[in-house]
Amino acid sequence: MTAEANSKPQTAKPQTELNAITNAGESGWQRFASNATTIGGAVLLAIFIRIVLFEAFEIDGPSMEPTLLHGDRVVVAKFMYGLFLPQMDEAVTTWGAPDVGDVVIVKSPADNVDIVKRVIGVGGDTIEIRDGVVHRNGAPVPVEEIGDCPEGNQKNYDSTCSTYEERIDGRAYRISRSRHEPQSSRPPIEIPAGHVYVLGDHRDRSNDSRNHLIAAVPVSRIKGKALFVYLSLEAGEWFQWWSRSRWGRFGMSVR
């Protein structure tokens, strides 16, 4: 027999197997690059959402009681009125304006601190306050007493505090004020175009447009509209969060 006949036949590895071996390193790099791209895209999306679309805001103080309580955390829609970038005092550009009754986050003209208030008047309106009663365009805003302020809804308990329902442009919301403290008055002010007049719902404990340093606020200083409460905690230690939680307020829309 010939040597050729006694030799074992030679076989070739399949091309797909050769490709897998040859490109093993490249495939690992491709997977890394793909994962990095996915993570980077998610981070950029989160940054975009945070800067342009939505922002979380913590309520600090009693100025919006009983609508918003000290310790509430709310989601704010930033895209509704303009592009408001971090570390800026005014929007880069605006494309909308709030309606009367909206609860908004304002960069205060007095000290550039974020404050939360309710829009009571818009450009072209005339706002006057007589003994605590808001008058819009010469007519008093309807207000009806509801009852005592619940103690749990007050940062600083006041036994003389009373809750009222106020109605403006067909929207009803609740405010609070003392039954015994003298109520302030303010002369008529005509709101310029592109501005709003804002008040806190707790009329005795709010620094708002009644302060001449704030007055009518440019729309460019409005960071966004408060949408809903996503978390609400009473005062206390961080590890007591379960007992501090106001569970009934979770998911509550801001009216």
Give exposure, 171-186, as e/b (b: 16+ Cβ within 10 Å): eebbbbbbeeeeeeeb
**Token pair 């809750």 is at which residue?**
163
Distance CA 213, CA 221 (A): 14
> What number of other Cβ atoms are within 10 A of residue 132's Cβ?
17
Residue 81 near residue 95, CB atoms below 8 Å:
yes
Residue 62 near residue 158, CB atoms below 8 Å:
no
Please say if 63 is a catalytic residue. Answer: yes
From the list 128, 96, 114, the residue with the least C-alpha distance to 197 is 128
> What number of other Cβ atoms are within 10 A of residue 74's Cβ?
26
Residue 75 near residue 90, CB atoms below 8 Å:
no
Please say if 159 is a catalytic residue. Answer: no
Q: What share of the chain is helix, strand, coil (3-state, %, to 5)?
A: 25, 35, 40
Radius of gyration of the chain (CA): 30
Q: Determine which one of 78, 107, 117, 155 is catalytic.
A: 117
Q: Determine which one of 63, 178, 206, 209 is catalytic.
A: 63
Task: Tell me the catalytic residues.
Answer: 63, 117
